[in-house]
Amino acid sequence: MSNHRLIWKRPLSSLFFAAAALAILFSCPANALAEEAPAMLAQDNANILWTLIAAILVMFMQAGFSMVEAGFTRAKNAGNIIMKNFLDFSAGGVAFFLFGFALMFGNSIGGFVGSSGFALGGVDATTADGMWTLTFWFFQSVFAATAATIVSGGVAERTKFSAYIIISIIVTGLIYPVSGHWCWGGLWGESGGWLEAMGFADFAGSTVVHSVGAWVALAGAMVVGPRLGKYAPDGKANAIPGHNIPMAALGVFILWFGWFGFNPGSTTVADGTIGYIAVNTSLSAAAGMLGAMIISWLMFGKPEPSMSMNGALAGLVAITAGCYELSPVGSLIVGFGAGILVVLSVVFIDKTLKIDDPVGAISVHGVCGAYGTIMVAFFAAPGFGSITGIFYGGGMDQLVTQLIGVGAVFVWAFGTGFIAFSLVKALVGVRVSEEEELKGLDITEHGMESYSGFQIFSNE
Q: Cα–Cα distance between 303 and 300 in angstroms, integer?
A: 8
Cα dihedral 260/263/267/273 (nearest 10): -70
Helix (H, G, I), strand (E, B) or coil at 326: strand
Report whether pLDDT(2) > 80.
no
Q: Cα–Cα distance between 311 and 295 in angstroms, integer?
A: 10
Mean pLDDT, residues 44-48 taken together: 94
Report whether pLDDT(260) > 90.
yes
Q: Which domains does the chain have, with CATH numbers?
A: 34-446 (1.10.3430.10)
Q: In 155-272, which ranges are continuous DSSP H helix?
A: 161-170, 176-184, 194-198, 212-224, 245-262
User: What is the radius of gyration, based on Cα positions, of the chain?
Assistant: 25
pLDDT value for 176? 98
Q: Which stretches does DSSP call E strand in 283-338?
A: none
Of 38 and 191, the structure prediction assigns the larger pLDDT to: 191
Give the residue among 135, 254, 266 at the shortest CA–CA distance from 206: 266
Q: Which amino acid is at 354?
A: K
* pLDDT digits 0-9 by tens, 207-256: 999 999 999 999 999 999 999 999 999 999 999 999 999 999 999 999 99
Q: Is the pTM of this model over 0.85?
A: yes
Phi, psi of 89 (to 5 degrees): -80, -30
Q: Cα–Cα distance between 3 and 155 in angstroms, integer?
A: 55
Give the residue among 316, 288, 321 at the shortest CA–CA distance from 387: 321
Return all residues near 45 (Cβ < 8 A) that are at least 6 apart: 1
User: CA separation (Å) from 106 to 111, 140, 408, 452?
Assistant: 11, 13, 21, 48
Helix (H, G, I), strand (E, B) or coil at 271: coil
Which DSSP helix (H) or strand (E) runs through 108? strand 108-109
Q: Cα–Cα distance between 345 and 359 in angstroms, integer?
A: 12
pLDDT value for 220? 98
Where residue 453 falls among pLDDT bands split at 50, 70, 90?
Answer: confident
Determine how many CB atoms are found less than 10 A away from the CB of residue 344.
14
Tell me what the pLDDT averaged over the chain comes to: 91
